Structure 1
């Protein structure tokens, strides 16, 4: 545990009963009270997450917009000031470098939020594609802490700590220099749980006090600290991808069914030609949802079969806390992607029957 990277909140985890694990080289809480009560708190009231392990990169300069437009699959030119965009970075062959959020402050000033396990790799990728663009690229990950409050009561709880009317922050927009209990924060409304909520980016020295103050403000409303376990079940139920599971250098955005975030009609971007070719030729594999017919629980990495033939692999699987069903996501041969198709998941050397279903297992409750 000593070799692992730690957020500024590491010493606070024990106070709230955090059980620490190694996550992508970080010492982070997998749970506090437990995955199920934490999951249910977010669905019914609110949960507070320490996501300070995520990476942040500043892109500034005359060519900032042009550079990011080349780097990512989505169309950054559509962004207004203080708007946020979900997108992906791809390799030349269409595989995914990372998925990320792009914050536009103005046409010369952007803020990128990237995955914790990919910070060094992503930043090197950006630098290697800087070419002659007139920009500065700064990895500010170590100086920024990020907290996320998610759930139907998130707005009312956080509103207790600020005079800024949070209802004015629309879905996938942000506001800078918001004072949360006197601490300056960038506040956005995106989320990774399928529920309404906010992300607070602040200087690292503010994070410990802010964590305690938000939990105190929401105590009577059912707010709980939430670990990585419930974060994964929450995002999975609403079909939000996790890099390393549904996305990787070996899986393209089209195969992950994220084509809506790939604008093949925009000017050139890294990986565009490979993705156009893949779309024209047809996908050989695609991400699907499935539901088990038995009480067996599918897990990441389990093999998928049709008869004797291996046709894919499970990317994520759980007993869904909200639906009380054993469900999963799998990347499988496109011949078997039709809804209602019977497939078999190999669990402890036994083939267990499952059926292909809609990936949108649980309805999102965003405040749009």
Structure 2
């Protein structure tokens, strides 16, 4: 359970088990919470996420080796989205890395992958002057996401993908301008013992409590990959359309040889967006078909009826030859073939 379990229970949350945590799935309802984030702001408990501290004189150089991005050039107070890959190029986890000080980084991992990320970072640390520590128990994480989030927090001149010291309810916190909804927003890292006071202070500013269910439809509309769906050790960043996060100009890093080979040859299949002509949404695992032959050419990784757009959207892996926007495919939706058009991601992007 997170430090906010009793708060969620008192708010009437419906809970679900997720990666060993008892997490709020919804409060008032998925649609209401989704629209609250798109139109104003939602308040999320993300304390299940993992935090790993990397410290020492070689911290930047070590992370350049262990991860696909270049972290050594990241300025203190900034963040970067990156990945930890296997030697074969497959994604072990996608991460946000914050540089808190010259020799101190905070690596934020998905809840289900925290142990793997910690173990792999420790393994790759041989030969580097660094300390790698699982600091997950030191932090609770609360997010305020939505177009009204900045007005509610008054963060000052904090840039996107930046982090700084801040105060909420008289408690010292780390405030990051990051998120996973496609909207502007902030993530508040606080001590577990301060979580209730921080949550209540933020809630009093007007955001609606929001659960994991609406977080999933929000990130899907924004075309954001979810580990275990769009990302896995069987998928590379290039297949997922995330080649931009790989610093190929680095001399070497874990997975470099496999990723350079795939870059030269081109991936066989890639992630695409699909929009269907039926009210029934494609779901994970539904076959993607060639409409002329009925043969399966791919599979849906995530799908839902988009609350914002009012029609079904899905992401799927398909062969490169049928991945161009405008290509007509089909999806087997419970035995019925539904027309599906390939579209560019994201499905939704707010006016900024």
Q: TM-score range by the shorter chain?
A: over 0.9
Describe the superposition over 1:2-41 as per-residue Cα deviations: whole angstroms up to 9, x where unpaired: xxxx111111112112110112222111111111111111
For 2:148, the equivalent position in structure 1 comes to: 153
Q: Distance in 2 between matches of 1:333 and 1:315?
A: 14
The offset of 1:365, in angstroms, is 5.0
Q: Distance in 2 between matches of 1:322 and 1:311?
A: 29
2:107 counterpart SS class: strand
Describe the superposition over 1:290-339 as per-residue Cα deviations: whole angstroms up to 9, x where unpaired: 10012221111111111232111111101001100111100111111011
Q: Confirm whether residue 167 of structure 1 aligns to residue 156 of structure 2.
A: yes
Q: Confirm whether residue 207 of structure 1 aligns to residue 195 of structure 2.
A: yes
**Partner residue of 1:198 out of 177, 186, 189:** 186
Task: Tell me: CA distance 1:78–1:364, structure 2 relative to 1, closer, same or farther (3 Å).
Answer: farther
Q: Distance in 2 between matches of 1:362 and 1:244?
A: 22
The offset of 1:266, in angstroms, is 1.5
Describe the superposition over 1:37-79 as per-residue Cα deviations: whole angstroms up to 9, x where unpaired: 1111111111000000000011001110111011111111331
1:97 counterpart SS class: strand
For 1:245, the equivalent position in structure 2 comes to: 229
How high is the TM-score relative to the length of structure 2? 0.97
For 1:295, the equivalent position in structure 2 comes to: 279
Q: Distance in 2 between matches of 1:364 and 1:185?
A: 28
> What are the within-5 Å matches in structure 2 for residues 275-314 of structure 1?
275-306=259-290, 307-314=293-300
Q: Confirm whether residue 357 of structure 1 aligns to residue 343 of structure 2.
A: yes
For 2:99, the equivalent position in structure 1 comes to: 104
Q: Confirm whether residue 19 of structure 1 aligns to residue 8 of structure 2.
A: no
For 1:270, the equivalent position in structure 2 comes to: 254
The answer (yes or no) to whether the contact 2:60–2:72 under 8 Å persists in 1 is yes
1:167 counterpart SS class: coil
How high is the TM-score relative to the length of structure 1? 0.93
Q: Distance in 2 between matches of 1:359 and 1:290?
A: 9
Q: Distance in 1 between matches of 2:192 and 2:266?
A: 47
The answer (yes or no) to whether the contact 1:194–1:365 under 8 Å persists in 2 is no
Task: Tell me: CA distance 1:365–1:30, structure 2 relative to 1, closer, same or farther (3 Å).
Answer: farther
The offset of 1:122, in angstroms, is 1.0
**Partner residue of 1:31 out of 26, 32, 35:** 26
Deviates more, 1:355-364 or 1:136-145: 355-364
Please list every run of 5 or more consecutive structure 1 residues that lacks an aligned counterpart in the other structure.
1-5, 160-165
> What are the within-5 Å matches in structure 2 for residues 16-165 of structure 1?
16-159=11-154
The answer (yes or no) to whether the contact 1:290–1:359 under 8 Å persists in 2 is no
For 1:162, the equivalent position in structure 2 comes to: none
Task: Tell me: CA distance 1:268–1:286, structure 2 relative to 1, closer, same or farther (3 Å).
Answer: same
Q: Confirm whether residue 182 of structure 1 aligns to residue 170 of structure 2.
A: yes
1:89 counterpart SS class: strand
The answer (yes or no) to whether the contact 2:77–2:100 under 8 Å persists in 1 is yes
Q: Distance in 1 between matches of 2:72 and 2:55?
A: 15
The answer (yes or no) to whether the contact 1:195–1:365 under 8 Å persists in 2 is no
For 2:212, the equivalent position in structure 1 comes to: 228
RMSD: 1.2
Q: Distance in 2 between matches of 1:146 and 1:86?
A: 17
2:251 counterpart SS class: coil
1:229 counterpart SS class: helix
Q: Distance in 2 between matches of 1:61 and 1:215?
A: 37
The answer (yes or no) to whether the contact 1:193–1:238 under 8 Å persists in 2 is yes
Could you list the runs of 4 or more consecutive aligned residues of structure 1 that deviate by over 2 angstroms after TM superposition? none
